[in-house]
C-alpha cells in the first residue's frame, strides 16, 4: 500500500489522539465533516482499535495549529487518508499504553485485556486505565504505520449501524451551523455586489453613506468592494439594499452570452492525449477512419451545462481582527490552504491568522465558503475588535459562487462482426475544475478569491494550466474501465469561457461517465445485446462485474418485469478507475408532457471495507439524488448583464416528490482498502436516467438537463 500522505505530513501521535481527564478520547483530523460522516467513521475506527465505547470518542472540529494539516477535504479521500491515519494512530496508542501498563502493573503485556479503556491483567487482576496512564503527559512518539491492527473478527463497532455525529442537534433544531453563531458585540455584515464580474464601482452617493452612518451602519469600501455592517441583522440587510441603490457601476462589455457549446469548440484551448488516465504533454493523434474489421461505427455528442453547487444555506463566515491578528470561522473544505490565501491577499503572516471550521448548510465541492471568509476578513479588518458575521444572500450565492464547468463530449466507436468494440475515441472539451485557493507563487491562491479582483489594488484572476494528474479535473473517468482496444482519449482545456468555475462534486467524472455509459447502451443496441451482457463482455475486473450483477439482480435493466409505460437504465463506473465501484439502475416513467419521474433505483457498490454502513449508503443514495437533480433540472442561465438564475424558481432543483425508492446493496470485501464513495454514483446515475428514458420512450437524450421541454423537442425531432 502506498504511504499515507496524512501520516507522512503529520507523523506525531499527539497530533491525532489525546486522552482527557474526563475519561474521553479526542480524535483530531484535518478532514472536515461536510455530511460525509467522516467524524462518525473515525470515531468507530478509534473505538474499535482502542477497545473503548464510541460514546467516549470525541471528534474535534478542525482548526489551524491544533489539527493535522491534511490539505483539502476532496476527491473522496477522507477514509483512505484520515480513516487509515486515525486507525493507525489508535493502534499505536493502544500498543504504547499497554506497554506502559505492563510496567506499572509489573506483569507481562500478554496478560493484559482492555474493556472500555480499563486495562486488567488476568494473571494478577490488577487494573489501571488509559486515562491514568496518559496523565503522565503527551506520547512524544510518532504513529507507527505498521502497528498491527485488530483482525476484522475482533471488531465490535466497525460495519455496524451508528448515529451520525451532530445529527441529533440538526433534527432537534439546536444551533449547529456557522450561520447560527452569536457572540457579544457581534456585527452582521452584508455585501453590495456589482451586476456582474466585469463591472467596476465608479460612484457612490455620499449623502446615503452619511445617513447610514448616522443610523449606526458602518460602510466598508475598498475599490469596488462594498459592504455594510450593523449590530442588527435586519438593519444590515436593509442598509445593503439602500447602499446598492446609491452605487453607480461601469458595466464594460458585460458577460459573453453566446452559445457556450460553440465556445467550447471555437475558443483557444490546450489539448492533450490521455493515456491510462493521465495526460501526456504530447501532440494529439488525429482521429483516423474506422478499423478494417468494423461492422458498424457510431458517433455521438453529449453536453452538460454550467451547474451550481446550490447549497441549501448561502455561504457565510465569522471574522475578528484584533491586535493585528485575524480569526476566521468558516465552512471551507481546506482551512490551511485558506489561511495561506488570506495571508497573501491581506499582506499578513500566516501565523497571525487562525482558521476554524464550523458546519455549513450543505456543499460538496468548491462553493462560496472561501470567498465569504475573505469577504468577512476584509470587513473585520476595517472594523477591528468586533466579531463580524457575514452572510451571502440567496441571490448572491446563486450569482457569485464558482460553478461546475460546462462540458461537451465527442465519442466514436466501432463494433466488429461479433458485436465487440474494436475501436474507441472520446474527447472532452471543458473549462478547469481546479480554482480552489491553493497556495502558489506570486499570490495565485489569493487571486482565486472572488473579491480579490474588486479591491482598490486588485489581483488579476488566476489562469490555470491543464491538470496533469491521474483522473483529475476534465479527464476524470474519461478512460473507461472496460477492456477496449485502440483507445484514443483527449482532454481539451478551453480558455476564455464566460463564467467563473471550480470544483463541483465528481469534477469531470459526472459528464464523462454520463457520456460513456449512454454510449455503451447505444452500442449494445447496435450489437443486438442487452445492456448487462454487453458490458460484462467488455469488463474483466471481477469487482466491477460483481456490482453490475448485484444491481441487476435487484432491478433487471432489461425491464422484462417493468410496468407498462416505464423504462429502466443502467450506469456503471469505478470512480477515478481506482476508488468505489458503483452500478446504478433507475426505473423511470415519462408523462405526456415530457416530465420524467424517478420510480425505483437499485445501487450496488463496493467501497472496500465498510465502517459506517448507514453513512456509506447515505453517500451513495445522496450522490444519486444530487446527480438526478443535475440531470433533470439544473442549468445556470445568464446574459451580458449577469447571471439570471438567481433563485429557486429560475434555478429549480429536484423536489422531495421525485425521489425514487432505493434498494442499496453494499458489497463488503472485509479487510480491504477503503475506496472513496462520496462521488461514485453521480456519473452512473445520470447515464442510468438517460438510458431509462430511452427504454421508456425510444428517445435518446444527450444534452443535460432533461427538462420536459427538451423531452418534447426530442419527440418532435424523432
pLDDT at 486: 86
Cβ proximity of 246 and 203 under 8 Å: no
Cell of 39: 467524524
> What rounded mean pLDDT belongs to the chain?
95
Assign 249 to helix, strand or coil: strand
What CATH class does 183-252+309-400 carry?
Answer: alpha beta
Which residues neighbour 418 within 8 Å (Cβ) at sequence distance 6 or greater?
A: none
pLDDT in tens, 650-707: 999 999 999 999 999 999 998 899 998 999 999 999 999 999 999 999 999 999 999 9
Burial class of 349 by CB neighbour count within 10 A (0 to 12, 13 to 18, 19+) = exposed
CA angle 653-656-657, nearest 5°?
A: 105
Cell of 561: 418485469
- Nearest residue to 83 (alpha-carbon basis) of 59, 52, 103, 107: 59
Residue where the block lists cell 456519473: 683
pLDDT at 565: 85
pLDDT at 671: 86
The arithmetic mean of pLDDT across residues 435-443, rounded, is: 85
pLDDT at 558: 86
Q: Is the pLDDT of residue 610 over 90?
A: yes
The arithmetic mean of pLDDT across residues 404-424, rounded, is: 97
Q: Is the pLDDT of residue 441 over 90?
A: no
CA angle 548-478-37, nearest 5°?
A: 65
Q: Between 77 and 378, where is the model more confident? A: 378
DSSP letter for each residue of 630-645: HHHT----EETTEE--
Three-state SS letters, 267-320: CCEEEEEEECCEECCCCCCCCCCCCCCCCEEEEEEEEECCECCCCCCCCEEEEE
What CATH class does 407-432+467-717 carry?
Answer: alpha beta
pLDDT in tens, 115-138: 999 999 999 999 999 999 998 889
Q: Is the pLDDT of residue 1 over 70?
A: no
The whole-angstrom separation of Cα 119 and Cα 113 is 6
Cβ proximity of 385 and 322 under 8 Å: yes
State how beta strands 421-430 and 487-494 pair.
parallel
**Hey, which bits of 483-618 come out as E strands?**
487-494, 566-574, 581-590, 596-606
CA angle 556-677-300, nearest 5°?
A: 60
Q: Is the pLDDT of residue 442 over 80?
A: no
pLDDT at 167: 87
Edge-to-edge strand ranges of the sheet holding 127-129:
112-115, 118-121, 127-129
5-157 and 183-252+309-400, same CATH topology: yes
The whole-angstrom separation of Cα 72 and Cα 228 is 31
The whole-angstrom separation of Cα 390 and Cα 191 is 8
The arithmetic mean of pLDDT across residues 250-276, rounded, is: 95
Which residues neighbour 501 within 8 Å (Cβ) at sequence distance 6 or greater?
A: 306, 402, 403, 404, 405, 431, 432, 433, 435
Phi then psi dihedrals of residue 487, to 5 deg? -75, 130
Q: CA-CA-CA-CA torsion for 199, 202, 206, 209, nearest 10 degrees?
A: 20
- Nearest residue to 94 (alpha-carbon basis) of 159, 151, 153, 46: 46
pLDDT at 181: 93
The arithmetic mean of pLDDT across residues 510-515, rounded, is: 98
pLDDT at 674: 92
Element (H, E) at 353: strand 353-357
Residue where the block lists cell 488566476: 462
**Which segment of 164-178, 383-397, 595-609 scores lowest on mean pLDDT?**
164-178
pLDDT in tens, 142-190: 999 999 999 999 999 999 888 888 888 888 988 889 999 999 999 999 9
**Which segment of 63-72, 316-325, 356-365, 572-581 scores lowest on mean pLDDT?**
356-365
DSSP letter for each residue of 644-674: ---STTTS----GGGPPEEEEEE---SS---
Assign 703 to helix, strand or coil: strand
Which residues neighbour 167 within 8 Å (Cβ) at sequence distance 6 or greater?
A: none
pLDDT at 160: 86
Question: How many residues does this entry show for the chain?
Answer: 718
Peptide bond into 705 cis (omega under 30): yes
The arithmetic mean of pLDDT across residues 419-425, rounded, is: 97
The whole-angstrom separation of Cα 390 and Cα 375 is 8
In this structure, the number of other CB atoms found within 10 A of the CB of residue 277 comes to 18
Q: Is the pLDDT of residue 554 over 90?
A: yes
pLDDT at 75: 85
**Residue environment code for 46-62, b if the CB has 16+ CB neighbours within 10 A, otherwise e:** bbbbbbbebebbbbebb
Q: Is the pLDDT of residue 213 over 70?
A: yes
Sign of the CA dihedral running 584, 585, 588, 594: positive
Q: How many CA atoms lie within 13 A of 123 on its CB side?
A: 9
Cβ proximity of 559 and 569 under 8 Å: no
Q: Is the pLDDT of residue 643 over 70?
A: yes
Sign of the CA dihedral running 443, 444, 449, 451: positive
The whole-angstrom separation of Cα 557 and Cα 566 is 11
Q: Is the pLDDT of residue 347 over 80?
A: yes
Q: Measuring CA to CA, how many Å separate 41 from each of 35, 588, 676?
A: 12, 34, 13
The arithmetic mean of pLDDT across residues 298-309, rounded, is: 98
For the chain, which residues make up each domain, given as ranges?
5-157, 183-252+309-400, 407-432+467-717
In this structure, the number of other CB atoms found within 10 A of the CB of residue 382 comes to 18
pLDDT at 310: 92
Cβ proximity of 603 and 681 under 8 Å: yes
CA angle 554-556-561, nearest 5°?
A: 110
CA angle 579-584-585, nearest 5°?
A: 165
Of the candidate CATH numbers 3.30.365.10, 3.90.600.10, 1.10.3720.10, 3.40.50.920, the domain formed by 5-157 belongs to 3.30.365.10
Amino acid at each position: 500500500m502506498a504511504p499515507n500522505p496524512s501520516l507522512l505530513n503529520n507523523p506525531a501521535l499527539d497530533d491525532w489522539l489525546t486522552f482527557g481527564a474526563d475519561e474521553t478520547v479526542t480524535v483530531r483530523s484535518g478532514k472536515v465533516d461536510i455530511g460525509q460522516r467522516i467524524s462518525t467513521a473515525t470515531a468507530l475506527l478509534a473505538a474499535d482499535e482502542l477497545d473503548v465505547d464510541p460514546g467516549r470518542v470525541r471528534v474535534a472540529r478542525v482548526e489551524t495549529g491544533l489539527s493535522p494539516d491534511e490539505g483539502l477535504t476532496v476527491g473522496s479521500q477522507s477514509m483512505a487518508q484520515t480513516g487509515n491515519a486515525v486507525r493507525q494512530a489508535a493502534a499505536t496508542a493502544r500498543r504504547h499504553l499497554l506497554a506502559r501498563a505492563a510496567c506499572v502493573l509489573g506483569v507481562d503485556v500478554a496478560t493484559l485485556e482492555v474493556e472500555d479503556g480499563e486495562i486488567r491483567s488476568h494473571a494478577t487482576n490488577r487494573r489501571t486505565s488509559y486515562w491514568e496512564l496518559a496523565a503522565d503527559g503527551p506520547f512524544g512518539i510518532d504513529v507507527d504505520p505498521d502497528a498491527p491492527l485488530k483482525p476484522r473478527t475482533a471488531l465490535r463497532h466497525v460495519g455496524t449501524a451508528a448515529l451520525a455525529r451532530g445529527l441529533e442537534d440538526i433534527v432537534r433544531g439546536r444551533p449547529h451551523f456557522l450561520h447560527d453563531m452569536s457572540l457579544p458585540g457581534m456585527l452582521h455584515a452584508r455585501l453590495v455586489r456589482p451586476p456582474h464580474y466585469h463591472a467596476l464601482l465608479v460612484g457612490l452617493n455620499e449623502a446615503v453613506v452619511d445617513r447610514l452612518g448616522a443610523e449606526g451602519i458602518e460602510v466598508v469600501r475598498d475599490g469596488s468592494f462594498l459592504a455594510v455592517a450593523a449590530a442588527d441583522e435586519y438593519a444590515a440587510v436593509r442598509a445593503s439594499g439602500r447602499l446598492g441603490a446609491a452605487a453607480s457601476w461601469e458595466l464594460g462589455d458585460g458577460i459573453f452570452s453566446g452559445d457556450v457549446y460553440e465556445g467550447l469548440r471555437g475558443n483557444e484551448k490546450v489539448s492533450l492525449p490521455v493515456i491510462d488516465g493521465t495526460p501526456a504533454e504530447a501532440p494529439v493523434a488525429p482521429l483516423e477512419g474506422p478499423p478494417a474489421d468494423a461492422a458498424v461505427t457510431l458517433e455521438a455528442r453529449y453536453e452538460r451545462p454550467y451547474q451550481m453547487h446550490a447549497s441549501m444555506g448561502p455561504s457565510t463566515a465569522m471574522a475578528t481582527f484584533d491586535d493585528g491578528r485575524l480569526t476566521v470561522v468558516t465552512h471551507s473544505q481546506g482551512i490551511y490552504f485558506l489561511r495561506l490565501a488570506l495571508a497573501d491577499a491581506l499582506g499578513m503572516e500566516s501565523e497571525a491568522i487562525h482558521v476554524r471550521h464550523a458546519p455549513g448548510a450543505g456543499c460538496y465541492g468548491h462553493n462560496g465558503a472561501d470567498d465569504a471568509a475573505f469577504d468577512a476578513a476584509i470587513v473585520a479588518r476595517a472594523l477591528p475588535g468586533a466579531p463580524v458575521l457575514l452572510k451571502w444572500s440567496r441571490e448572491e450565492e446563486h450569482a457569485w459562487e464558482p460553478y461546475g464547468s460546462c462540458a461537451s463530449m465527442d465519442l466514436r466507436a466501432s463494433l466488429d462482426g461479433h458485436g465487440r468494440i474494436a475501436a474507441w475515441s472520446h474527447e472532452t472539451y471543458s473549462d478547469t475544475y481546479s480554482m480552489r485557493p491553493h497556495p502558489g507563487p506570486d499570490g495565485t491562491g489569493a487571486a482565486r478569491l472572488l473579491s480579490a479582483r474588486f479591491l482598490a489594488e486588485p489581483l488579476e484572476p488566476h489562469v490555470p494550466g491543464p491538470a496533469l494528474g491521474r483522473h483529475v479535473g476534465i479527464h476524470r473517468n474519461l478512460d473507461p474501465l472496460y477492456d477496449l482496444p485502440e483507445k484514443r482519449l483527449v482532454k481539451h482545456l478551453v480558455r476564455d469561457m464566460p463564467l467563473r468555475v471550480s470544483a463541483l462534486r465528481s469534477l469531470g467524472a459526472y459528464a464523462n461517465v454520463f457520456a460513456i455509459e449512454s454510449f455503451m447502451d447505444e452500442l449494445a443496441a447496435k450489437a443486438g445485446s442487452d445492456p448487462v451482457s454487453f458490458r460484462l463482455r467488455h469488463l474483466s475486473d471481477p469487482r466491477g462485474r460483481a456490482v453490475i450483477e448485484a444491481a441487476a439482480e435487484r432491478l433487471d435493466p432489461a425491464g422484462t418485469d417493468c410496468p407498462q409505460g416505464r423504462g429502466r437504465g443502467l450506469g456503471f463506473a469505478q470512480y477515478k478507475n481506482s476508488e468505489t465501484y458503483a452500478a446504478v439502475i433507475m426505473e423511470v416513467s415519462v408523462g405526456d408532457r415530457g416530465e420524467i419521474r424517478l420510480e425505483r433505483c437499485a445501487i450496488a457498490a463496493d467501497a472496500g471495507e465498510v465502517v459506517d454502513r448507514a453513512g456509506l449508503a447515505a453517500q451513495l443514495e445522496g450522490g444519486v439524488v444530487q446527480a438526478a437533480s443535475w440531470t433533470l433540472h439544473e442549468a445556470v442561465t445568464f446574459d451580458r448583464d449577469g447571471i439570471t438564475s438567481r433563485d429557486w424558481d429560475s434555478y429549480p432543483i429536484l423536489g422531495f416528490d421525485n425521489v425514487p425508492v432505493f434498494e442499496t446493496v453494499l458489497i463488503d470485501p472485509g479487510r480491504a482498502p477503503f475506496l472513496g464513495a462520496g462521488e461514485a454514483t453521480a456519473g452512473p446515475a445520470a447515464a442510468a436516467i438517460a438510458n431509462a428514458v430511452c427504454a421508456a420512450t425510444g428517445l435518446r437524450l444527450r444534452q443535460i438537463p432533461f427538462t420536459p421541454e427538451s423531452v418534447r423537442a426530442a419527440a418532435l425531432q424523432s
